[in-house]
């Protein structure tokens, strides 16, 4: 298959590593050539985190060049904005409403930009933007820590991902501890249905 590039952007503690692992495992389950990057930035809680997933027969490096992302999965609004160097007008951006002010805003006593300003700036790069109420959907699933799985469900619902929904569900079942599995399956389903209603 031809190259397909995904960028995951957010902050430490949002489950980006697990989300990347689910996507990578599901892709490999289908026999695809998948490369998942190491986490960049500070992976501790609150630090900026970017992970990249590249799928394709000829993919040999995990880094994505600027403007080459097919999808950006944004776990936090400002971090999604920062990751737009990877976007072009062909990029689909799925972003959560989640706001986690970075340490530098607090240290400089600066306010967090308004959500509408951030969404408007994302639209300058691409018109393909889906905003997901991941936090409230995660709470509905039974736990705020399932926002990452809500977003994976949202991603699957677009039909743009070259990985089947069933493969993602199997990877989810393998990687999530049994005691949290039911809640995470519900989170996936809620994210999936939320986007299916929009498109």
pLDDT along the chain (199 residues), means of 10: 93 93 97 88 71 94 93 97 96 95 85 95 96 97 96 97 97 97 98 96
pLDDT for position 137: 98
175, HSE (Cβ side, Cα atoms, 13 Å): 20
User: HSE of 16 in the Cβ direction (CA atoms, 13 Å)?
Assistant: 35
Candidates 28, 22, 11; CA nearest to 155 is 22
pLDDT single digits (tens) 89-136: 999 999 999 999 888 887 888 999 999 999 999 999 999 999 999 999
The residue ranges of every structural domain in the chain are 4-198
CATH number for 4-198: choose from 3.40.920.10, 3.40.50.12780, 3.40.50.300, 3.50.50.60.
3.40.920.10
* C-alpha to C-alpha distance for 32 and 125, rounded to whole angstroms: 29
Residue 10's contacts (CB-CB under 8 Å, 6 or more residues apart) are: 16, 48, 49, 74, 75, 76, 79, 80, 98
Contact 186, 139 (CB under 8 A): no
**pTM for the whole thing?**
0.94
């Amino acid at each position: 298959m031809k190259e397909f590039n995904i960028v995951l952007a957010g902050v430490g503690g949002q489950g980006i590593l697990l989300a990347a692992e689910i996507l990578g495992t599901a892709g490999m389950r289908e026999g695809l050539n998948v490369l998942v990057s190491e986490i960049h930035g500070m992976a501790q809680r609150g630090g900026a985190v970017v992970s990249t997933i590249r799928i394709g027969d000829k993919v040999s490096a995990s880094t994505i060049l600027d403007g080459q992302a097919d999808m950006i999965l944004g776990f936090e609004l400002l971090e999604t904005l920062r990751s737009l160097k990877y976007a072009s007008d062909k990029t689909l951006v799925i972003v959560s409403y989640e706001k986690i002010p970075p340490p530098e805003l607090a240290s400089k006593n600066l306010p967090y930009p308004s959500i509408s300003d951030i969404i408007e700036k994302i639209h300058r790069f691409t018109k393909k933007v889906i905003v997901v109420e991941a936090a409230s959907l995660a709470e509905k699933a039974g736990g705020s820590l399932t926002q990452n799985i809500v977003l994976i469900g949202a991603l699957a619902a677009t039909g743009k991902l070259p990985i089947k929904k069933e493969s993602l569900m199997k990877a989810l079942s393998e990687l999530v501890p049994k005691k949290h599995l039911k809640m995470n399956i519900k989170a996936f389903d809620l994210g999936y249905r939320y986007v299916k209603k929009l498109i």
